[in-house]
Amino acid sequence: MATQRYSVTPHPIETLLTWVKSGEIAIPEIQRPFVWDATKVRNLLDSLYHGYPVGYLIAWRNPTVRLKDGTTSAGKRILIDGQQRVTALMAALLGQEVVDKDYRTKRIRIAFNPLEGKFEVSNPAIQKDATWIADIAEIFSPEVGLIGVMDDYLARNPEADRKHISGILQRLWQITNNHVGVIELAEDLDIETVTEIFIRVNSAGAQLSQADFVMSKIAADERYGGNQLRKAIDYFCHLAIAPEAMPRIEKNDTAFVQTEYFQKMRWLRNVNDDLYDPSYTDMLRVAFTSEFGRGKLQDLVALLSGRNFETRAYEEEIAEESFARLKAGVFNFMSQTHFDRLTMILRSAGFVTSKLIRSKSAINFAYIMYLRGRVENVDAAELERLVRRWYVMSVLRGRYAGSAESAFDYDIRQIEMNGLENYANAVIQTELSEDYWTALLPQQFNSSSSTTPAFLVYKAAQVKLGDLGFLSRDITVRDLLLNRSDVHHVFPRDYLKKQGLTASRYNQVANFVIAQSEINIAIGNTAPEVYFAELAEQCSGGARKYGGITDMGEMRQNLETNCLPIDLLDGRVPTFDDFLEERRHLMAAKIRQFFEIL
């Protein structure tokens, strides 16, 4: 018979709210943006008022930790499912402010009409309407309370039946006596089991990630400053995307502004760079893997709980050390010097816009390599070269496209054993062999997705090599990607559609070139044999129809740098399939040329 690894106990809402206020239950999301809109809060209260079920809460107790003095401390419960519901109740019933997605603090006021038994989000019209109680939090407040609200309401509505109104408001006041089931998970469960239980109980909810568990562990800690660390991670990731939120944070969270964390992120105030906008998952992975030499976040959850992997016991010293090391990793991640150097390295490899970035995991490991290289005192120029080459290799080979966490764990452990330079150079040589360049890479261009990794790297290669746009005399691919460009079909789309080709055929990336909009428009659906003949005439004194190139040498050079067969200008236009096959090899050769100078 299987051992039950959880308990299910109904608790009154009043008890749950008391536990949260006293810290008996930790709500990891309480300091994070409240994502529910006010109508969902209203609907939750309406369900409680009518006695409908509102779902289970799931709590996971931290393991009992052996303290330094030899005594033990029982772990506190962490609410891993139900944060939004409990936060909504604290906001609506207790009048607590919440933090919205723009890091503004605000009150959510829910109004109630006793005559209709109806809830609504409070608004100016309701506040002026005597038949509404504009904010039900007053009923639950010690200052006003049920009697005070009832007396005020009857004074504003003298025709109302006192007994009826009293009964209705009593019913509203008693919703805190409604029971909610709390599933408490055993402290010795692993993350995979907890995740499985979460999914089975709450199939409609968002799936928990390993990073969610880490953030829950961090937020629930007050002894080692985890609550501030959690806030630092959230704020940094938000400010990296929306630096305009900094004045609001400075105004609304004056205590955090005084911390060393905030001092280390002040530089984000004037940043308008979206090349790398990390999520909290990205930040945790980089900070943990670079600092601990491990890649699996479930190990971080265990370490922050104080787990001794040898004895399987939980010890305060390990928890304390783990929080200190994670803090150091987060500081390294947030460093302006490190962050700027990473984005500079990416740009120096031709990845000048976020449109060329598809794999956040590849950037994360590039950042890990950079931070590890600094620890190993790798020469600065050599480290930059190594990170550039590793990033391009990992994108081309899809190294982190599947199970990124397992790949991170394997790579960082190999780096620990063999050293960064030895391991990275060996992997690059193996992954990008002669067979890869001549056989495998050309086949990666057999795709109709404009975000296929090989095509993104191809565009970065054109940037790095300073290539001009298709048929452009002065405008570079870099200029076009950073401003406005069109992906032009060498064999025009409408021309191929009329021949009965489907989108997956005419949108092959080997049929794409980067061009100015006006050039793309001028060519339109003209047959390739026609417009290439006109380009040849344009270079022999004929009418200038497409772009500004009038010299045949320049024209041949432009086609060559855009990986197009130069004999197109001589009237030798192959079949579409033959053209695609030839161009795939030319594009692969371009990437190889680019990689060799990284």
pLDDT tens-digit map of 284-298: 999 999 999 999 998
314: containing domain: 220-432
Q: Give the range among 42-51, 80-89, 137-146 with minimum mean pLDDT.
A: 80-89
427 and 449, same domain (yes or no): no
184 and 303, same domain (yes or no): no
Question: 357-387: string of b/e by CB count within 10 Å (b at 16+)?
Answer: bbbbbbbbbbbbbbbbbbeeebeeeebbbbb
Q: Pick from 432, 460, 484: which residue ends a domain? A: 432
| Residue 66 included in any domain | yes
113 and 252, same domain (yes or no): no
Over 50: is that where the pLDDT of 107 sits? yes
Rounded distance between C-alpha atoms, residue 268 and residue 525, angstroms: 46
pLDDT at 485: 77
158 and 23, same domain (yes or no): yes
Give the residue-averaged pLDDT of 68-74: 64
| Residue 1 included in any domain | no
82 and 177, same domain (yes or no): yes
Annotate 139-163 with DSSP letters as a single string.
Answer: HHSSSSHHHHHHHHHHHH-TTS-HH
pLDDT at 199: 64
> Exposure of 480 by Cβ count < 10 A (0-12 exposed, 13-18 middle, 19+ buried)?
buried
Tokens of 462: 């054109």
- Per the CB < 8 A criterion, the answer to whether 28 and 219 are in contact is yes
1 pLDDT band (50/70/90 cuts)?
very low
Give the residue-averaged pLDDT of 89-117: 86
Give the residue-averaged pLDDT of 303-311: 87
Over 50: is that where the pLDDT of 31 sits? no
Structure confidence by residue, pLDDT tens digits, 35-69: 788 899 999 999 999 988 888 888 887 766 665 66
558 and 526, same domain (yes or no): yes
pLDDT at 211: 83
pLDDT at 206: 55
Structure confidence by residue, pLDDT tens digits, 379-420: 999 999 999 999 999 999 999 998 899 999 999 999 999 999
178 and 225, same domain (yes or no): no
185 and 308, same domain (yes or no): no
pLDDT at 37: 85
Rounded distance between C-alpha atoms, residue 225 and residue 214, angstroms: 14
Name which of 309, 279, 280 is nearest 292 in CA terms.
309
Give the residue-averaged pLDDT of 498-504: 93
Whole-structure pTM value: 0.85
150 and 236, same domain (yes or no): no
Q: What 3-state class would DSSP assign to 101?
A: coil
Give the residue-averaged pLDDT of 541-559: 94
Tokens of 34: 């409240």
In 67-191, the DSSP E strands lie at: 72-73, 77-81, 98-99, 105-106, 110-113, 118-121, 179-185
113 and 183, same domain (yes or no): yes
pLDDT at 258: 94
- Per the CB < 8 A criterion, the answer to whether 57 and 51 are in contact is no
Share of the chain above pLDDT 70, in %: 93
Domains held by the chain: number:
3
115 and 243, same domain (yes or no): no
The pLDDT mean for the chain works out to 90
| Residue 210 included in any domain | no
Rounded distance between C-alpha atoms, residue 79 and residue 25, angstroms: 7
pLDDT at 32: 56
343 pLDDT band (50/70/90 cuts)?
very high
202: amino acid identity, one letter:
N
The dihedral built from the CA positions of residue 363, 369, 370 and 372, taken in this order, carries a sign that is positive
Structure confidence by residue, pLDDT tens digits, 175-232: 999 999 888 888 777 766 776 776 666 555 556 677 888 887 888 777 898 889 998 9
Between residues 137 and 68, which one has the greater pLDDT? 137
Rounded distance between C-alpha atoms, residue 559 and residue 471, angstroms: 8
Instruction: Count the neighbouring beta carbons within 10 Å of the beta carbon of residue 105.
Output: 14
Rounded distance between C-alpha atoms, residue 306 and residue 318, angstroms: 5
Name which of 410, 383, 403 is nearest 289 in CA terms.
410
Between residues 268 and 16, which one has the greater pLDDT? 268
Q: What 3-state class would DSSP assign to 360?
A: helix
Q: What 3-state class would DSSP assign to 307?
A: strand
